[in-house]
Chains A and B, each alone.
Chain A
Amino acid sequence: MRVNCRKISRGIAEGQVLLTCESISFLGNVDPKTGVIVEPKHELFGQCIKDRVLVFPHGKGSTVGSYVLYQLIKNNVAPAAMINSESEPIVAVGAIISGIPLVDRMEQDPFKLLKNGDTVRVDGTNGVVETIE
Protein backbone atom coordinates (compact mmCIF):
# COMPACT_ATOMS: atom_id res chain seq x y z
CA MET A 1 0.00 0.00 0.00
CA ARG A 2 1.25 3.43 -0.98
CA VAL A 3 -0.40 6.69 0.08
CA ASN A 4 0.52 10.22 -0.95
CA CYS A 5 0.81 12.97 1.63
CA ARG A 6 2.25 16.42 2.16
CA LYS A 7 5.98 16.64 2.86
CA ILE A 8 7.05 18.75 5.82
CA SER A 9 10.54 17.52 6.81
CA ARG A 10 12.78 15.79 4.30
CA GLY A 11 14.36 12.33 4.55
CA ILE A 12 13.31 8.68 4.28
CA ALA A 13 13.01 6.27 7.22
CA GLU A 14 11.36 3.00 8.19
CA GLY A 15 10.02 1.77 11.48
CA GLN A 16 7.18 0.22 13.41
CA VAL A 17 4.10 2.34 13.88
CA LEU A 18 3.33 3.80 17.32
CA LEU A 19 -0.04 5.48 17.08
CA THR A 20 -1.97 7.85 19.34
CA CYS A 21 -5.09 9.92 18.78
CA GLU A 22 -3.84 12.40 21.40
CA SER A 23 -1.64 15.38 20.56
CA ILE A 24 1.86 15.51 22.06
CA SER A 25 3.73 18.30 23.83
CA PHE A 26 7.36 17.29 23.44
CA LEU A 27 8.27 19.62 26.29
CA GLY A 28 6.95 17.87 29.36
CA ASN A 29 5.36 14.76 27.79
CA VAL A 30 8.58 13.09 26.58
CA ASP A 31 11.81 12.40 28.52
CA PRO A 32 14.58 13.74 26.26
CA LYS A 33 17.12 11.27 27.70
CA THR A 34 15.14 8.05 27.19
CA GLY A 35 12.44 8.84 24.62
CA VAL A 36 9.80 7.51 27.00
CA ILE A 37 6.41 9.24 27.29
CA VAL A 38 6.34 10.41 30.91
CA GLU A 39 2.98 12.21 31.05
CA PRO A 40 0.79 9.90 33.19
CA LYS A 41 -2.42 11.08 31.53
CA HIS A 42 -1.16 10.42 28.00
CA GLU A 43 -2.41 7.40 26.08
CA LEU A 44 1.21 6.40 25.34
CA PHE A 45 2.40 6.74 28.97
CA GLY A 46 5.41 4.50 29.58
CA GLN A 47 6.02 3.72 25.90
CA CYS A 48 9.31 4.52 24.16
CA ILE A 49 9.22 6.43 20.86
CA LYS A 50 12.81 5.52 19.87
CA ASP A 51 13.02 4.28 16.26
CA ARG A 52 9.21 4.16 15.91
CA VAL A 53 7.11 5.86 13.26
CA LEU A 54 5.15 8.10 15.58
CA VAL A 55 1.64 8.81 14.32
CA PHE A 56 -0.25 11.59 16.14
CA PRO A 57 -2.68 14.36 15.20
CA HIS A 58 -0.34 17.33 15.87
CA GLY A 59 1.92 18.90 18.46
CA LYS A 60 0.88 21.26 21.26
CA GLY A 61 2.36 23.23 24.14
CA SER A 62 5.60 25.17 24.42
CA THR A 63 7.65 26.08 21.36
CA VAL A 64 10.66 24.75 23.32
CA GLY A 65 9.27 21.35 22.21
CA SER A 66 11.13 21.87 18.92
CA TYR A 67 14.43 21.78 20.81
CA VAL A 68 13.37 18.66 22.73
CA LEU A 69 13.13 16.79 19.41
CA TYR A 70 16.71 17.90 18.77
CA GLN A 71 17.77 16.51 22.15
CA LEU A 72 16.05 13.21 21.37
CA ILE A 73 18.05 12.82 18.16
CA LYS A 74 21.30 13.74 19.94
CA ASN A 75 20.56 11.14 22.61
CA ASN A 76 19.74 8.54 19.94
CA VAL A 77 16.19 8.02 21.22
CA ALA A 78 14.22 9.96 18.60
CA PRO A 79 11.42 8.51 16.49
CA ALA A 80 12.52 7.23 13.06
CA ALA A 81 9.83 9.34 11.37
CA MET A 82 6.55 11.09 12.20
CA ILE A 83 3.12 11.30 10.59
CA ASN A 84 0.64 14.03 11.61
CA SER A 85 -2.94 14.68 10.62
CA GLU A 86 -2.04 18.36 10.37
CA SER A 87 1.44 19.55 11.32
CA GLU A 88 1.90 22.75 13.30
CA PRO A 89 5.09 24.82 13.69
CA ILE A 90 6.45 23.26 16.92
CA VAL A 91 6.72 19.72 15.55
CA ALA A 92 7.52 20.87 11.99
CA VAL A 93 10.45 23.02 13.13
CA GLY A 94 11.62 20.34 15.59
CA ALA A 95 11.57 17.66 12.89
CA ILE A 96 13.53 19.80 10.44
CA ILE A 97 16.26 20.88 12.86
CA SER A 98 16.59 17.24 13.94
CA GLY A 99 16.48 15.70 10.45
CA ILE A 100 13.47 13.50 11.27
CA PRO A 101 11.21 12.83 8.24
CA LEU A 102 7.74 14.29 8.81
CA VAL A 103 4.63 14.23 6.62
CA ASP A 104 0.99 15.22 7.13
CA ARG A 105 -2.36 15.27 5.29
CA MET A 106 -2.20 11.62 4.14
CA GLU A 107 -4.74 11.01 1.39
CA GLN A 108 -6.18 8.19 3.50
CA ASP A 109 -6.79 8.58 7.25
CA PRO A 110 -3.69 7.18 9.00
CA PHE A 111 -5.74 6.39 12.10
CA LYS A 112 -7.92 3.99 10.06
CA LEU A 113 -5.20 2.69 7.77
CA LEU A 114 -2.38 2.01 10.23
CA LYS A 115 -2.14 0.07 13.48
CA ASN A 116 0.54 -0.32 16.13
CA GLY A 117 3.32 -2.63 15.03
CA ASP A 118 2.83 -2.20 11.24
CA THR A 119 6.13 -1.53 9.49
CA VAL A 120 6.02 1.55 7.25
CA ARG A 121 8.41 3.66 5.23
CA VAL A 122 7.94 7.42 5.44
CA ASP A 123 9.37 9.39 2.52
CA GLY A 124 9.44 13.02 3.62
CA THR A 125 11.34 14.07 0.50
CA ASN A 126 8.65 12.96 -1.97
CA GLY A 127 5.61 12.85 0.29
CA VAL A 128 4.76 9.13 0.37
CA VAL A 129 3.91 6.63 3.13
CA GLU A 130 4.30 2.94 2.22
CA THR A 131 3.56 -0.21 4.24
CA ILE A 132 6.17 -2.93 4.15
CA GLU A 133 5.06 -6.58 4.36
Chain B
Amino acid sequence: MYLTKKEEKTLEGEYGETLRKAIEILVALGDIYGADSLIPVKSAQIAGVSYKTIGDAGLEWISDLKGKARIPAILNPAGMDMMRWQDMGIEPEFAGKQQEIITAYENLGIRTKCTCTPYYLEGFDAGYGDHLAWSESSAVCYANSVIGARTNREGGPSALSAALVGKTANYGYHLDEMREPVMAVTVDIDLSGADYGALGYVAGRVIGNRVPIFYLKGKPSGDELKSLGAALAASGAVALYHVEGVTPEAIRSKFKRPDENLTIEREQILEVYESETECKEEQETDIITVGCPHCSPGELKDIARLLAGKNVRKEMWICTSREVAERYPDLVRDIEKSGAKIVCDTCMVVSPATNNYRCMMVNSGKALAYVPSMCGVASRYGSIEQCVREAVQDES
Protein backbone atom coordinates (compact mmCIF):
# COMPACT_ATOMS: atom_id res chain seq x y z
CA MET B 1 0.00 0.00 0.00
CA TYR B 2 1.23 3.47 -0.88
CA LEU B 3 1.87 5.73 2.13
CA THR B 4 2.68 9.44 2.11
CA LYS B 5 5.87 10.63 3.86
CA LYS B 6 3.82 11.81 6.82
CA GLU B 7 1.98 8.50 7.07
CA GLU B 8 5.36 6.67 6.98
CA LYS B 9 6.62 8.85 9.81
CA THR B 10 3.46 8.17 11.81
CA LEU B 11 4.04 4.45 11.30
CA GLU B 12 7.66 4.87 12.49
CA GLY B 13 6.33 6.34 15.73
CA GLU B 14 7.38 9.95 15.19
CA TYR B 15 4.01 11.27 16.46
CA GLY B 16 3.72 8.97 19.47
CA GLU B 17 2.74 5.44 20.31
CA THR B 18 -1.05 5.84 20.09
CA LEU B 19 -0.95 7.25 16.56
CA ARG B 20 1.64 4.64 15.58
CA LYS B 21 -0.67 1.81 16.64
CA ALA B 22 -3.70 3.52 15.11
CA ILE B 23 -2.10 3.82 11.68
CA GLU B 24 -0.62 0.32 11.97
CA ILE B 25 -4.18 -1.01 12.38
CA LEU B 26 -5.37 0.91 9.30
CA VAL B 27 -2.38 -0.25 7.22
CA ALA B 28 -2.76 -3.88 8.32
CA LEU B 29 -6.45 -3.91 7.39
CA GLY B 30 -5.60 -2.20 4.11
CA ASP B 31 -3.02 -4.90 3.35
CA ILE B 32 -5.44 -7.71 4.27
CA TYR B 33 -8.12 -6.30 1.95
CA GLY B 34 -5.82 -5.07 -0.81
CA ALA B 35 -6.20 -1.27 -0.36
CA ASP B 36 -3.97 0.96 -2.48
CA SER B 37 -3.76 3.86 0.00
CA LEU B 38 -5.31 5.61 2.98
CA ILE B 39 -8.09 8.12 2.25
CA PRO B 40 -9.46 10.96 4.42
CA VAL B 41 -12.81 10.33 6.12
CA LYS B 42 -15.34 12.96 7.18
CA SER B 43 -16.47 11.37 10.44
CA ALA B 44 -16.18 8.28 12.58
CA GLN B 45 -18.74 6.35 14.61
CA ILE B 46 -17.17 3.96 17.08
CA ALA B 47 -18.59 0.60 18.20
CA GLY B 48 -17.39 -1.13 21.34
CA VAL B 49 -19.02 1.10 23.94
CA SER B 50 -21.30 -1.07 26.06
CA TYR B 51 -19.49 -2.58 29.04
CA LYS B 52 -21.65 -5.63 28.37
CA THR B 53 -19.90 -6.07 25.01
CA ILE B 54 -16.25 -5.04 25.53
CA GLY B 55 -15.76 -5.82 29.23
CA ASP B 56 -12.61 -5.00 31.19
CA ALA B 57 -10.38 -5.88 28.23
CA GLY B 58 -11.82 -3.14 26.05
CA LEU B 59 -11.95 -0.63 28.89
CA GLU B 60 -8.24 -1.19 29.60
CA TRP B 61 -7.26 -0.69 25.98
CA ILE B 62 -9.19 2.55 25.50
CA SER B 63 -7.98 3.94 28.84
CA ASP B 64 -4.34 3.32 27.89
CA LEU B 65 -4.53 5.38 24.66
CA LYS B 66 -3.38 8.99 24.48
CA GLY B 67 -4.44 11.31 21.68
CA LYS B 68 -7.20 13.41 20.20
CA ALA B 69 -9.67 12.65 17.42
CA ARG B 70 -8.96 14.68 14.26
CA ILE B 71 -12.46 14.41 12.82
CA PRO B 72 -15.97 14.50 14.33
CA ALA B 73 -16.38 11.17 16.10
CA ILE B 74 -19.20 9.75 18.21
CA LEU B 75 -20.11 6.48 19.88
CA ASN B 76 -22.40 3.53 19.45
CA PRO B 77 -25.11 2.95 22.09
CA ALA B 78 -23.86 2.22 25.62
CA GLY B 79 -25.21 -0.39 28.00
CA MET B 80 -27.51 2.02 29.82
CA ASP B 81 -29.18 5.42 29.78
CA MET B 82 -26.26 7.48 31.10
CA MET B 83 -28.56 9.57 33.30
CA ARG B 84 -31.50 7.33 34.23
CA TRP B 85 -29.69 4.01 34.61
CA GLN B 86 -31.17 3.40 38.05
CA ASP B 87 -34.70 3.53 36.61
CA MET B 88 -33.63 0.79 34.19
CA GLY B 89 -32.58 -1.56 36.98
CA ILE B 90 -28.85 -1.33 36.18
CA GLU B 91 -26.43 -2.42 38.92
CA PRO B 92 -24.19 0.38 40.31
CA GLU B 93 -21.07 -1.67 39.55
CA PHE B 94 -22.00 -1.92 35.87
CA ALA B 95 -22.86 1.80 35.79
CA GLY B 96 -19.45 2.67 37.22
CA LYS B 97 -17.61 0.63 34.57
CA GLN B 98 -19.82 2.06 31.81
CA GLN B 99 -19.05 5.60 32.96
CA GLU B 100 -15.31 4.79 32.94
CA ILE B 101 -15.57 3.68 29.29
CA ILE B 102 -17.38 6.88 28.30
CA THR B 103 -14.80 9.01 30.13
CA ALA B 104 -11.94 7.17 28.42
CA TYR B 105 -13.46 7.97 25.02
CA GLU B 106 -14.09 11.57 26.06
CA ASN B 107 -10.39 11.93 26.95
CA LEU B 108 -9.61 11.00 23.34
CA GLY B 109 -11.73 13.88 22.03
CA ILE B 110 -14.64 11.64 21.05
CA ARG B 111 -18.08 13.26 21.46
CA THR B 112 -19.84 11.17 24.06
CA LYS B 113 -23.10 10.84 22.17
CA CYS B 114 -24.13 7.20 22.12
CA THR B 115 -26.42 6.40 19.20
CA CYS B 116 -26.91 4.06 16.27
CA THR B 117 -28.47 6.95 14.29
CA PRO B 118 -25.60 9.47 13.97
CA TYR B 119 -27.27 10.83 10.81
CA TYR B 120 -29.94 12.59 12.94
CA LEU B 121 -27.35 14.61 14.88
CA GLU B 122 -26.42 18.24 14.25
CA GLY B 123 -22.93 18.73 12.83
CA PHE B 124 -22.63 15.09 11.93
CA ASP B 125 -24.16 15.25 8.49
CA ALA B 126 -22.97 12.86 5.82
CA GLY B 127 -23.66 13.49 2.15
CA TYR B 128 -23.64 11.62 -1.14
CA GLY B 129 -20.17 10.27 -1.93
CA ASP B 130 -18.63 11.22 1.45
CA HIS B 131 -16.13 8.72 2.84
CA LEU B 132 -16.84 7.74 6.45
CA ALA B 133 -15.56 5.27 9.06
CA TRP B 134 -18.71 4.11 10.85
CA SER B 135 -19.12 0.85 12.68
CA GLU B 136 -22.65 0.23 13.89
CA SER B 137 -24.14 -2.13 11.34
CA SER B 138 -27.48 -0.33 10.81
CA ALA B 139 -25.78 3.09 10.63
CA VAL B 140 -23.35 1.71 8.04
CA CYS B 141 -26.24 0.31 6.02
CA TYR B 142 -28.15 3.63 6.21
CA ALA B 143 -25.09 5.73 5.30
CA ASN B 144 -24.22 3.58 2.28
CA SER B 145 -27.72 2.92 1.02
CA VAL B 146 -30.01 5.81 1.96
CA ILE B 147 -27.44 8.64 1.97
CA GLY B 148 -25.11 7.27 -0.70
CA ALA B 149 -22.04 7.88 1.48
CA ARG B 150 -19.23 5.29 1.59
CA THR B 151 -18.16 3.26 4.61
CA ASN B 152 -17.11 -0.27 5.45
CA ARG B 153 -18.41 -2.03 8.55
CA GLU B 154 -15.56 -0.85 10.75
CA GLY B 155 -14.68 -2.71 13.94
CA GLY B 156 -14.39 -0.72 17.19
CA PRO B 157 -10.57 -0.36 17.15
CA SER B 158 -10.41 0.44 13.43
CA ALA B 159 -13.09 3.16 13.71
CA LEU B 160 -11.26 4.63 16.69
CA SER B 161 -8.01 4.51 14.69
CA ALA B 162 -9.73 6.31 11.82
CA ALA B 163 -10.95 8.99 14.26
CA LEU B 164 -7.41 9.53 15.58
CA VAL B 165 -5.68 9.49 12.17
CA GLY B 166 -8.55 11.08 10.20
CA LYS B 167 -8.23 8.40 7.51
CA THR B 168 -9.17 4.86 6.63
CA ALA B 169 -7.88 2.28 4.17
CA ASN B 170 -9.33 2.50 0.67
CA TYR B 171 -11.03 -0.86 0.09
CA GLY B 172 -14.47 -2.46 0.06
CA TYR B 173 -17.44 -0.08 -0.08
CA HIS B 174 -15.17 2.92 -0.69
CA LEU B 175 -14.66 1.59 -4.25
CA ASP B 176 -17.18 1.92 -7.13
CA GLU B 177 -16.89 -1.70 -8.24
CA MET B 178 -17.84 -3.03 -4.77
CA ARG B 179 -21.08 -1.03 -4.78
CA GLU B 180 -22.73 -2.67 -7.81
CA PRO B 181 -25.77 -4.81 -6.97
CA VAL B 182 -25.23 -8.55 -7.55
CA MET B 183 -28.71 -9.87 -6.81
CA ALA B 184 -32.26 -8.67 -7.33
CA VAL B 185 -34.96 -8.92 -4.65
CA THR B 186 -38.51 -8.63 -5.97
CA VAL B 187 -41.44 -7.85 -3.69
CA ASP B 188 -44.77 -7.55 -5.46
CA ILE B 189 -47.01 -6.61 -2.53
CA ASP B 190 -47.78 -3.35 -0.73
CA LEU B 191 -45.59 -2.80 2.32
CA SER B 192 -45.70 -0.24 5.11
CA GLY B 193 -44.06 0.45 8.48
CA ALA B 194 -42.81 -2.68 10.25
CA ASP B 195 -43.32 -4.72 7.04
CA TYR B 196 -39.97 -3.35 5.94
CA GLY B 197 -38.23 -4.69 9.06
CA ALA B 198 -39.90 -8.05 8.45
CA LEU B 199 -38.74 -7.98 4.82
CA GLY B 200 -35.16 -7.29 5.90
CA TYR B 201 -35.36 -10.06 8.49
CA VAL B 202 -36.44 -12.60 5.86
CA ALA B 203 -34.29 -11.42 2.94
CA GLY B 204 -31.09 -10.82 4.95
CA ARG B 205 -30.69 -14.51 5.69
CA VAL B 206 -30.56 -15.31 1.98
CA ILE B 207 -28.57 -12.27 0.87
CA GLY B 208 -25.74 -12.71 3.41
CA ASN B 209 -23.05 -10.11 2.80
CA ARG B 210 -23.88 -9.39 -0.85
CA VAL B 211 -25.20 -6.13 -2.34
CA PRO B 212 -28.88 -6.48 -3.35
CA ILE B 213 -31.15 -4.22 -5.36
CA PHE B 214 -34.83 -4.26 -4.35
CA TYR B 215 -37.67 -3.91 -6.84
CA LEU B 216 -40.62 -2.75 -4.73
CA LYS B 217 -44.19 -1.67 -5.53
CA GLY B 218 -44.20 1.48 -3.40
CA LYS B 219 -41.72 4.13 -2.34
CA PRO B 220 -40.55 3.56 1.24
CA SER B 221 -39.89 6.54 3.54
CA GLY B 222 -36.53 7.23 5.21
CA ASP B 223 -37.74 5.59 8.43
CA GLU B 224 -38.90 2.51 6.51
CA LEU B 225 -35.57 2.27 4.70
CA LYS B 226 -33.85 2.53 8.10
CA SER B 227 -35.87 -0.47 9.37
CA LEU B 228 -35.18 -2.47 6.23
CA GLY B 229 -31.43 -1.87 6.33
CA ALA B 230 -31.09 -2.54 10.06
CA ALA B 231 -32.79 -5.93 9.65
CA LEU B 232 -30.76 -6.78 6.52
CA ALA B 233 -27.57 -6.02 8.44
CA ALA B 234 -28.64 -8.11 11.44
CA SER B 235 -30.13 -11.25 9.88
CA GLY B 236 -27.53 -11.05 7.09
CA ALA B 237 -24.40 -8.94 6.92
CA VAL B 238 -25.64 -6.42 4.36
CA ALA B 239 -23.71 -3.12 4.41
CA LEU B 240 -25.24 -1.64 1.25
CA TYR B 241 -28.51 -2.19 -0.60
CA HIS B 242 -30.23 -0.32 -3.37
CA VAL B 243 -33.93 0.24 -4.08
CA GLU B 244 -34.74 0.83 -7.74
CA GLY B 245 -36.07 4.36 -8.25
CA VAL B 246 -35.65 5.26 -4.55
CA THR B 247 -32.10 5.17 -3.15
CA PRO B 248 -29.73 7.83 -4.54
CA GLU B 249 -27.16 5.54 -6.16
CA ALA B 250 -29.84 3.46 -7.88
CA ILE B 251 -31.32 6.68 -9.30
CA ARG B 252 -27.98 8.05 -10.50
CA SER B 253 -26.27 4.86 -11.65
CA LYS B 254 -29.15 3.11 -13.47
CA PHE B 255 -27.87 -0.35 -12.50
CA LYS B 256 -28.50 -3.29 -14.80
CA ARG B 257 -30.86 -5.82 -13.23
CA PRO B 258 -28.73 -8.68 -11.81
CA ASP B 259 -29.44 -12.20 -13.12
CA GLU B 260 -29.91 -13.78 -9.70
CA ASN B 261 -33.37 -13.04 -8.31
CA LEU B 262 -35.01 -13.61 -4.94
CA THR B 263 -38.77 -13.14 -4.71
CA ILE B 264 -40.32 -12.52 -1.30
CA GLU B 265 -44.00 -13.48 -0.97
CA ARG B 266 -46.69 -12.05 1.28
CA GLU B 267 -46.76 -15.23 3.41
CA GLN B 268 -43.09 -14.86 4.29
CA ILE B 269 -43.70 -11.35 5.65
CA LEU B 270 -46.79 -12.49 7.59
CA GLU B 271 -44.84 -15.37 9.12
CA VAL B 272 -42.54 -12.88 10.87
CA TYR B 273 -45.52 -11.36 12.68
CA GLU B 274 -46.76 -14.79 13.67
CA SER B 275 -43.45 -16.32 14.67
CA GLU B 276 -42.51 -16.21 18.30
CA THR B 277 -38.78 -16.60 18.64
CA GLU B 278 -38.16 -18.88 21.60
CA CYS B 279 -41.41 -17.54 23.07
CA LYS B 280 -43.43 -20.24 24.76
CA GLU B 281 -46.92 -20.11 23.28
CA GLU B 282 -48.75 -18.98 26.38
CA GLN B 283 -45.96 -16.71 27.60
CA GLU B 284 -47.17 -13.19 28.08
CA THR B 285 -45.27 -10.19 26.76
CA ASP B 286 -43.78 -8.35 29.76
CA ILE B 287 -41.96 -5.54 27.92
CA ILE B 288 -42.49 -3.65 24.67
CA THR B 289 -39.54 -1.88 23.09
CA VAL B 290 -39.37 0.35 20.04
CA GLY B 291 -36.53 2.44 18.65
CA CYS B 292 -34.16 -0.09 17.09
CA PRO B 293 -32.48 1.76 15.41
CA HIS B 294 -33.04 4.86 17.59
CA CYS B 295 -36.27 6.73 16.83
CA SER B 296 -36.32 9.66 14.43
CA PRO B 297 -38.31 12.80 15.33
CA GLY B 298 -41.03 11.56 12.94
CA GLU B 299 -41.27 8.20 14.70
CA LEU B 300 -41.48 9.95 18.10
CA LYS B 301 -44.36 12.05 16.74
CA ASP B 302 -46.22 8.92 15.59
CA ILE B 303 -45.73 7.24 18.98
CA ALA B 304 -46.90 10.35 20.85
CA ARG B 305 -50.03 10.41 18.69
CA LEU B 306 -50.73 6.70 19.28
CA LEU B 307 -50.22 7.04 23.05
CA ALA B 308 -52.22 10.27 23.43
CA GLY B 309 -54.77 9.97 26.24
CA LYS B 310 -53.70 6.41 27.08
CA ASN B 311 -51.84 4.76 29.96
CA VAL B 312 -49.45 1.87 29.43
CA ARG B 313 -50.03 -1.17 31.66
CA LYS B 314 -46.81 -2.89 30.69
CA GLU B 315 -43.21 -1.72 30.66
CA MET B 316 -42.60 0.16 27.41
CA TRP B 317 -39.28 1.62 26.28
CA ILE B 318 -38.89 4.06 23.41
CA CYS B 319 -35.20 4.20 22.54
CA THR B 320 -33.71 7.28 20.90
CA SER B 321 -30.60 9.43 20.97
CA ARG B 322 -30.28 11.97 23.77
CA GLU B 323 -29.85 14.78 21.23
CA VAL B 324 -33.14 14.03 19.47
CA ALA B 325 -34.94 13.67 22.83
CA GLU B 326 -33.54 17.02 23.98
CA ARG B 327 -34.55 18.68 20.72
CA TYR B 328 -38.21 17.60 21.20
CA PRO B 329 -39.00 18.02 24.91
CA ASP B 330 -42.75 18.32 24.17
CA LEU B 331 -42.84 14.93 22.45
CA VAL B 332 -40.89 13.35 25.30
CA ARG B 333 -43.31 14.84 27.84
CA ASP B 334 -46.35 13.70 25.85
CA ILE B 335 -45.03 10.16 25.51
CA GLU B 336 -43.97 9.85 29.14
CA LYS B 337 -47.38 11.06 30.29
CA SER B 338 -48.62 7.60 29.26
CA GLY B 339 -46.11 5.87 31.53
CA ALA B 340 -43.90 4.73 28.65
CA LYS B 341 -40.20 5.54 29.13
CA ILE B 342 -37.98 7.45 26.76
CA VAL B 343 -34.66 5.62 27.01
CA CYS B 344 -31.56 7.42 25.66
CA ASP B 345 -27.95 6.40 24.91
CA THR B 346 -28.77 2.69 24.83
CA CYS B 347 -31.20 0.10 23.50
CA MET B 348 -32.83 -3.25 24.18
CA VAL B 349 -30.05 -5.14 22.40
CA VAL B 350 -26.95 -3.78 24.18
CA SER B 351 -28.31 -3.13 27.69
CA PRO B 352 -28.11 -5.84 30.39
CA ALA B 353 -31.38 -4.36 31.76
CA THR B 354 -33.16 -6.39 29.03
CA ASN B 355 -32.25 -9.59 30.89
CA ASN B 356 -34.78 -8.74 33.61
CA TYR B 357 -37.63 -9.62 31.22
CA ARG B 358 -38.89 -12.86 29.71
CA CYS B 359 -40.80 -11.97 26.57
CA MET B 360 -40.36 -8.80 24.54
CA MET B 361 -42.51 -7.36 21.78
CA VAL B 362 -40.58 -5.38 19.15
CA ASN B 363 -41.33 -3.59 15.88
CA SER B 364 -37.78 -4.02 14.61
CA GLY B 365 -36.45 -6.84 12.44
CA LYS B 366 -33.01 -6.14 13.86
CA ALA B 367 -34.18 -6.48 17.48
CA LEU B 368 -36.04 -9.66 16.53
CA ALA B 369 -32.80 -11.07 15.12
CA TYR B 370 -30.64 -10.20 18.16
CA VAL B 371 -32.73 -10.09 21.35
CA PRO B 372 -33.35 -13.86 21.67
CA SER B 373 -29.70 -14.85 21.15
CA MET B 374 -27.82 -11.90 22.66
CA CYS B 375 -30.14 -11.25 25.61
CA GLY B 376 -31.76 -14.65 26.08
CA VAL B 377 -35.19 -13.01 25.98
CA ALA B 378 -38.00 -14.43 23.84
CA SER B 379 -39.41 -12.03 21.26
CA ARG B 380 -42.48 -11.43 19.16
CA TYR B 381 -43.05 -8.99 16.34
CA GLY B 382 -45.65 -6.33 15.69
CA SER B 383 -46.29 -3.03 13.95
CA ILE B 384 -45.97 0.16 15.99
CA GLU B 385 -49.78 0.19 16.35
CA GLN B 386 -49.76 -3.40 17.67
CA CYS B 387 -46.91 -2.57 20.05
CA VAL B 388 -48.85 0.35 21.53
CA ARG B 389 -52.03 -1.79 21.78
CA GLU B 390 -50.05 -4.46 23.65
CA ALA B 391 -48.62 -1.85 26.02
CA VAL B 392 -51.95 -0.23 26.86
CA GLN B 393 -53.84 -3.57 26.79
CA ASP B 394 -56.42 -2.19 24.40
CA GLU B 395 -58.41 -5.07 22.96
CA SER B 396 -60.15 -3.04 20.26
Chains A and B are bound partners: yes
Chain A residue numbers with a CB within 8 Å of B31 are 6, 8
Q: Is the CB of B32 within 8 A of A87?
A: yes
Specify the main secondary structure of chain A where it touches its partner: helix
**In the complex, which residues 24-73 of chain B have their Cβ closer than 8 Å to any Cβ of chain A?**
24-25, 28-29, 31-32, 48, 53-58, 60-61
Kindly state the interface size class of chain A when it binds its partner: 20 to 34
Q: Does B351 contact A (CB under 8 A)?
A: no
Q: Is the CB of B60 within 8 A of A66?
A: no
Chain B residue numbers with a CB within 8 Å of A32 are 57
Chain A residue numbers with a CB within 8 Å of B32 are 8, 87-89, 92
Nearest Cβ on chain B to A77's Cβ, whole angstroms? 13
A95 to B58, CA, bound (A): 14
Nearest Cβ on chain A to B373's Cβ, whole angstroms? 12
Q: Does A74 contact B (CB under 8 A)?
A: yes
Q: Is the CB of B61 within 8 A of A70?
A: yes
Q: Does A29 contact B (CB under 8 A)?
A: no
- The count of residues in chain B whose C-beta lies closer than 8 Å to any C-beta of chain A is 20
Q: Is the CB of B155 within 8 A of A66?
A: yes
Cβ contacts A41-73/B at 8 Å (1 or 0 each): 000000000000000000000011011101100
Closest residue of chain A to B13, judged by CB?
A10
A32 to B60, CA, bound (A): 13
Q: Is the CB of B53 within 8 A of A64?
A: yes
Q: Does A106 contact B (CB under 8 A)?
A: no
Known contacts: A87-B32, A89-B32. The answer to whether A67 contacts B158 by CB under 8 A is: no
A70 to B25, CA, bound (A): 14
Known contacts: A63-B155, A64-B53, A93-B157. The answer to whether A70 contacts B24 by CB under 8 A is: no
Q: Is the CB of B58 within 8 A of A89?
A: no
Cβ contacts B198-222/A at 8 Å (1 or 0 each): 0000000000000000000000000
Q: Is the CB of A10 within 8 A of B24?
A: yes
Give the 3 A-B CB pairs with smallest separation, nearest first.
A67-B57, A71-B57, A67-B58
